[in-house]
A and B are shown apart, each in its own frame.
Chain A
Amino acid sequence: MLEHVSRSPLHAFGLPLQATAINDTRGVWANELPSLGYVSLRGDSKDRTFVEKVTHSLGVALPTSPCTYAGTDGAKVLWISPDEWLIVSQRDRIGSLAADLKAALQGVRSQVADNSGGYTQVLLRGRNALDVLQHTTVYDFAALEPGRVVGTTFGKSSVYAHRSGEGFCLVMRRSFADYIWRYLVRAAAPYGLGIAVVETTGHAALVVA
């Protein structure tokens, strides 16, 4: 019998094998935060019942201000649009998180969909991380405040991006991950690109800066 293997969207680049501890020799440090879980949540942010039930189920207030996100120790909730959120958590927790949400939202006009296969994210750090974003996107990331998340154009594709510690988290669709990674590698080349060790499996992604 074949064993089911889950491969991250950037698996083919062999990033884990290249990873080293961050040091001063490179201007940009990046790596994929592989195998996280993603749930798309749809609902009406003006519906108080919906907001209360989601908040209660997740244990964190559902962010209803545009372009903000909220986090708990185990999950991050990104505002995508007035009726859409993306919840990021550990892959092994996402099933129960989605099930709990669905159960809590029984009878409330809403949608919970496990999209874990559809997204991945890249953590971009280093002294030139901002320069790389300025080469690749049209958003002024220098002005992006902690706690805010923006969807913007990246090359011919798009990302949802927010600050994470000293760096930036870029959430991208699986189908464009290859393109975006290559684009990042090329844009970072003048500054030197290092592949950073990911502290624990995807944990850095969940640190709310």
Chain B
Amino acid sequence: MLVLFCPHCQEKREEEEFGYGGEAFRIRPASPDTADDDTWADYLFMRTNPKGWNWELWSHATGCRKFFVVKRNTATNSIAGSWTLSDGRKVYDAEGGSQ
């Protein structure tokens, strides 16, 4: 059972209130029409799926219904923090983005 802090509700809530949204900060190709198949497939299907720290999206599905980002370690389930998308992006970029 994960307990996540919702940066919008400003409360820790149980996992059952949340929906998992996959890896955060994936970048959509700027022009899908001209992106080649491999580029598009990489965006659409390929995942980093790291064993270790993972930046991921969660939605507070039965609470405020907002998305936010969580930095969680997939090998231990320990959580470094939760941020709104914009705040999380800054922390993510400061860490050097995806490794």
Binding site for B on A (CB under 8 A): 66-67, 80-82, 84, 138-139, 150-154, 158
Over the window 4-37 of chain B, the binary record of Cβ atoms lying under 8 Å from chain A Cβ atoms (1 yes, 0 no) is: 0000111101101100000000000000000000
Residue of A nearest to B64 (CB): A81
Over the window 46-65 of chain B, the binary record of Cβ atoms lying under 8 Å from chain A Cβ atoms (1 yes, 0 no) is: 00000000000000111111
Cβ contact within 8 Å between A138 and B17: yes
A153 contact from B16, B65, B66, Cβ within 8 A: B16
Cβ contact within 8 Å between A66 and B62: no
CA distance A84 to B9 in the complex (A): 12
What are 19 of the A-B contact pairs (CB < 8 Å)?
A66-B8, A66-B64, A67-B9, A80-B65, A81-B8, A81-B66, A82-B8, A138-B16, A150-B9, A150-B63, A151-B9, A151-B17, A151-B60, A151-B62, A151-B64, A152-B17, A152-B63, A153-B16, A158-B62
CA distance A117 to B43 in the complex (A): 41
Are A67 and B17 CB-contacts (below 8 A) given A82-B64, A151-B63?
no
Cβ contact within 8 Å between B13 and A152: yes
> Chain A's nearest CB lies how many Å from the CB of B4?
12
Chain B residues positioned under 8 Å from A84 (CB to CB): 64-65
CA distance A158 to B61 in the complex (A): 9
The B interface is mostly helix, strand or loop, or mixed, namely loop
Question: What's the interface size class on B, roughly?
Answer: 10 to 19
Chain B residues positioned under 8 Å from A82 (CB to CB): 8, 64, 66
B13 contact from A80, A81, A139, A154, Cβ within 8 A: A139
**Chain A-chain B contacts (Cβ-Cβ < 8 Å), number:** 48
> Chain A's nearest CB lies how many Å from the CB of B81?
17
CA distance A66 to B17 in the complex (A): 16
Residue of A nearest to B12 (CB): A140
Chain B residues positioned under 8 Å from A139 (CB to CB): 13-14, 17
CA distance A154 to B62 in the complex (A): 9
CA distance A67 to B13 in the complex (A): 12
Chain A residues positioned under 8 Å from B62 (CB to CB): 151-154, 158
Chain B residues positioned under 8 Å from A158 (CB to CB): 61-62
Chain A residues positioned under 8 Å from B13 (CB to CB): 138-139, 152
Cβ contact within 8 Å between B11 and A66: yes
Are A66 and B10 CB-contacts (below 8 A) given A81-B65, A151-B63?
yes
User: What 9 pairs between A and B have smallest CB-CB spacing?
Assistant: A81-B64, A158-B62, A151-B63, A138-B14, A66-B10, A153-B62, A138-B16, A153-B16, A66-B9
